[in-house]
Amino acid sequence: MEFVDILLKRIEGENELKRPVNALICFSKVKTGKALGALMNKMVRFRPDKSSVTFLNLIDAEQAKHIQDENTYKSELFSDIIQLSEANKLSVRTFVKQSENYVEDILRTADEYNCNLVLLGIGSSVFNSSLWHKYLKLREENNLPEAALQQLDEKAASSLNNVSTLLARNKLSTGIFVENNYLDANQLFVPILYKEDAYSFPYFYQMAKNTDVTVTVWDAIGLMESDQKFQKLFQFIAKKTDGRVKLWDNNKKIELNFIQQQDLMIIGFNGWEKLIGSPLSWTHCLPSVLIIKDNKQTLI
Tens digit of each residue's pLDDT (9 = 90 or more) over 94-103: 999 999 999 9
Look at residue 203 and tell me whether its pLDDT is greater than 80. Answer: yes
Q: What is the pLDDT of residue 49?
A: 66
Long-range Cβ contact pairs of 204-209 (< 8 A, separation 24 or more): 204/245, 204/266, 205/11, 205/237, 205/240, 205/241, 205/245, 206/17, 206/43, 206/44, 206/46, 206/47, 206/300, 207/42, 207/43, 207/266, 208/237, 208/241, 208/244, 208/245, 209/45, 209/46, 209/240, 209/241
Q: What pLDDT score was predicted for residue 286?
A: 93
What's the mean pLDDT in 87-115? 93
pLDDT of residue 192: 97
Burial class (CB in 10 A: 0-12, 13-18, 19+), 241: buried
Q: State yes or no: pLDDT of 293 exceeds 50.
A: yes
Rounded to two decimals, what is the model's pTM? 0.90
- The pLDDT tens digits for 23-38 are 999 999 999 999 999 9
